[in-house]
Amino acid sequence: MAQRHIVAMGGGGFTTDGDNRLLDDFVLSLARNKRRPKICFLATASGDSDPYISLFHDSFPPSRAHAVHLKLFDRKVPDLRSFIGEQDVIYVGGGNTANLLAVWRLHGLDRILRAAWNAGTVLAGLSAGAICWFECGITDSFGPPPRGLEGGLGFLKGGFCPHYDGEADRRPVLHRLIRRGFPATLAVDDGAAAHFVGGRVKEFVSSRPSVRAFRVSLEGKSVVEEPLSVRYLGSRRGS
């Protein structure tokens, strides 16, 4: 079996980091084709937003990668399995996680993505595009405040909470859910990402200094935030 990579970002990348390419370059570095990776953007969670797709293509010009996108709301690709199988990287944008999962399953993309991952295609994304790979997560798919969402793809065990430093409601909601039996969850700041190889986290990386990641779980009757080491990609030393 090929080496399987997933990069789950709390936020950042081309969506919000502007000219800071550290996280996106890290994703590209994992691709099988190092010279000019084939990268496909899935903007399903934003309803296939045209401005979002345009921003993706502006951020991944031909000199950097061979970039394509896949729309499902106005689908033009008849053979999804072949199309996805040709890609080195699948990059999933943010938006509504619940809608993303429903649409993917309707088109059979959930099974196709698992097969691509097993074959060595890198899976990456931020916010909704990170939560989706886990069993569950903290989402605002149903409007504020955030709430727990189960029924993720389950490629990775446990839960994921993005925007841990960027949205004030995320932390108290996660703590309340953990007390009620929600699974142990990775909580990641904007600008940080969890890099998984197979089903195990290898490391946490970041495009910004001093951002954080935690494993949040219940010990006895107390919610515990275990700080996790994060390697800042802008320097040679971890932070």
pTM across the whole model: 0.96
Residue 45 has pLDDT above 60, yes or no: yes
Cβ 202 vs Cβ 6: under 8 Å: no
Please give the pLDDT value at position 1.
66
Residue-wise pLDDT tens digits, 191-226? 999 999 999 999 999 999 999 999 999 999 999 999
Please give the pLDDT value at position 8.
98
Tokens of 176: 């309340």
For residue 239, name the pLDDT band (cuts at 50, 70, 90).
Answer: very low
Question: Residue 11 in 3-state DSSP?
Answer: coil
Please give the pLDDT value at position 236.
56
Please give the pLDDT value at position 235.
73
List the single range of 26-40, 79-93, 174-188, 223-237 with lowest mean pLDDT. Answer: 223-237
Catalytic residue annotation? 127, 163
Residue 143 has pLDDT above 80, yes or no: yes
User: What beta strand segments (E) does 77-184 contain?
Assistant: 89-92, 122-126, 134-139, 147-150, 156-161
Name, in order, each residue with C-beta under 8 angstroms of 50's C-beta and a sequence gap of 6 or more.
none
* The CATH number of the domain covering residues in 5-232: 3.40.50.880
State the chain's mean pLDDT as an integer: 96
Work out the average pLDDT over 171-196: 97
- Which of 8, 42, 6, 2 is closest to 193 using CA atoms? 8
Please give the pLDDT value at position 224.
98
Report the chain's terminal Cα–Cα distance, integer Å.
33
Residue-wise pLDDT tens digits, 61-119? 999 999 999 999 999 999 999 999 999 999 999 999 999 999 999 999 999 999 999 99
